[in-house]
Amino acid sequence: MKKKVIIIGAGLAGMIAAHKAEREGVEAVLIDRGSIGLGTNSAMANGVIAGTTGSYSGKEYVADSIDIGRGINRRRMVEIAAAGVEAAISMLRSVGLNVVEGTNLYSVKSPDPEVIPGVTIVKKLAEAVFSLNGFRAVTGFYVTDIVKAEGRACGVRGLNAAGQEVAIAADAVILAAGGAGAAYLKNDNQKTIMGQGYELAAKAGLPLWDMEFVQFYPLVFADPHLPSMLIFPPYHEAIELTNSSGEDIAMKYGLDNINEAVTKKRDEFSALLFQELHSGPVWMDFRNIPPEMWKKHPLSLLAKMKHDFSKEPVAVSPAAHFFMGGVKIGEGCETDLPGLFACGEVAFGLHGANRRGGNALLECVVFGSIAGRNAALYALGNDAPPMKEPASAARAMSDDRVDLCAIRREIREIAWNHAGVVRDEEGVRKGLEKIAGVQGRLGMVLPHTTKEQRLKCDLQSAAFTVKAILTASLGRKESRGSLLRSDFPNEDNANWKKNSCLKYDAERSMFLMSFEDAG
């Protein structure tokens, strides 16, 4: 019987991991609550991959990534990413993707300019993994626990499509469950990305690192009739950004242009737009775009939306985009729990206090490959112990029907208002009080349907993750990278050039926090 590796999460990192694991001779079981690839954040990517090129060295890549991460990246992770660029690009091209080299990055081009490059990427990768003999997809399965026995990971437990609790044994497990952007009221993530991976890891006994660092993208649709997605750069010079008083925002704040603000001053740009929103809507005006440009990427992506951008401005806002923090991994993507590996956004170390643009896709391919290969080798070299079912904790339940959708909005509002673009101690403390109340109410909810059962699990993960963000934000007394604190506006390298570490105490339902150099 073949050894088995379970991969939790079917985005780019998970699919790459499954592909590499199967090539090592194990059965790769890719598990996701939704469809393979298309239900993940990878499908929404603009296809930009940072990395070394013929005119951009690994040394330059490492230096630039650490500078953007404000010096608290794990240098070795950045070096591994740089060393893996060539193989990563080769792998993507091998599955039929058109990857074009630029000055200091690569771009995946869709054959249809009206198709998001991320959709092209996940479709091609899905075709590749489904063609493998040793690959199996389990969709409609919601993972609730990483099962441990004899001090190591040996499988997962979760809910199948019918809502039944099911356990699946494995010789190794890879966590590739993505981030938690949808825990925020304003975000550009898939609506179910709520921090499930962070809660799974913490419940399995692993610390969470640098959870205070959440990247916000400045320009995301805020019109309720449009999808909450970022407006892909580059931005044509004819596009204007105005506030509720009709002022040109770039001119008001002395910004050279929108592209420059997004690429080089993203956090400050998000903060000033956030401030402008206190007075009213912020508008993005495409009306002066030359007609011939609408057929070219990225403006071509707007063609099928229910808005005539050539005639009417659209409301925009900063929104939660990416999480820099997560689970600590070694050079082989192993975690501190034997048998458990991690890759993709759920892992910490590459980005530091802020993610360099293009490093998300690179991270998925490079570290997905490493995780898949090493999880397979671990499985082949170690016999898994018999999987013991974790005991279910008995809890008092209320039979009163609870509006879980209202609780979801409450969690998102807490995240946006208290763990958002700009934070301060008073706001963070209020957020912690509010999220504790939400967690107490959620613990008493008795789901009546499979849909409610899954939504409750989502909301528990979202509340858990927001609590982690708030706790780490309260501890760091400075502004660094994506974390902007109005009460500590300056970066303080003398005292805070280090990483936050949250260890979850399940008995007391609280995080124990420390700050240290994660290496």
Residue-wise pLDDT tens digits, 283-336:
999 999 999 999 999 999 998 898 999 999 999 999 999 999 999 999 999 999
Q: Which residues pair with 139 in a beta bridge?
A: 32
Strand pairing of 165-169 and 152-159?
antiparallel
d(CA 10, CA 41): 10
Of residues 392 and 407, more confidence is placed in: 407
d(CA 134, CA 490): 52
Would you state the pLDDT for residue 257?
Answer: 85
Q: What is the 3-state secondary structure (H, E, C) of 63-82?
A: HHHHHHCCCCCCHHHHHHHH
CB 311 within 8 A of CB 36: no
CATH 3.90.700.10 assigned to domain 218-321? The reply is: yes
CATH 3.50.50.60 assigned to domain 4-210+325-381? The reply is: yes
256-268: string of b/e by CB count within 10 Å (b at 16+)?
eebeebbeebbbe
Strand pairing of 172-175 and 340-342?
parallel
d(CA 367, CA 365): 6
pTM for this predicted structure: 0.96
When pLDDT is cut at 50, 70 and 90, the band that residue 394 belongs to is: very low
Would you state the pLDDT for residue 450?
Answer: 92
CB 180 within 8 A of CB 369: no
pLDDT tens-digit series, residues 156-187: 999 999 999 999 999 999 999 999 999 999 99
Q: Which residues pair with 514 in a beta bridge?
A: 501
Q: What is the CATH number of domain 404-489+496-512?
A: 1.20.58.100
d(CA 209, CA 507): 20
- Helix, strand, coil proportions of the chain in percent (round to 5)? 35, 25, 40
Name which of 47, 81, 86 is nearest 64 in CA terms. 81
Local structure of residue 236 (DSSP, 8 states): P
- Token pair in block for residue 184: 């925020």
Domain map of the chain by residue range? 4-210+325-381, 218-321, 404-489+496-512
Residue with the two structure tokens 């199996």:
136
Strand pairing of 48-50 and 105-109?
antiparallel
Would you state the pLDDT for residue 1?
Answer: 78
pLDDT at residue 390 is higher than 80: no
Would you state the pLDDT for residue 303?
Answer: 85
Strand pairing of 347-348 and 208-209?
unpaired
The residue count of the chain comes to 519
Percent of the chain clearing pLDDT 70 (strictly above): 97
d(CA 294, CA 303): 8
Name which of 73, 12, 86 is nearest 47 in CA terms. 12
State the average pLDDT over residues 21-38. 96
Name which of 8, 54, 3, 56 is nearest 32 in CA terms. 8
Q: Diameter of the chain by CA atoms?
A: 69
d(CA 159, CA 42): 24
pLDDT at residue 387 is higher than 90: no
pLDDT at residue 392 is higher than 90: no
d(CA 382, CA 380): 6
- Token pair in block for residue 27: 């059965």
Would you state the pLDDT for residue 456?
Answer: 96
Lowest pLDDT segment from 100-104, 264-268, 391-395, 402-406: 391-395
Local structure of residue 396 (DSSP, 8 states): -
d(CA 220, CA 322): 13
Give the number of other CB atoms < 10 A from CB of residue 422: 18
d(CA 476, CA 212): 8
pLDDT tens-digit series, residues 434-463: 999 999 999 999 998 999 999 999 999 999
d(CA 348, CA 345): 7
pLDDT at residue 203 is higher than 60: yes
pLDDT at residue 243 is higher than 50: yes
pLDDT tens-digit series, residues 254-294: 988 899 888 888 899 999 999 999 999 999 999 999 999 99
Mean predicted lDDT score pLDDT of the chain: 95
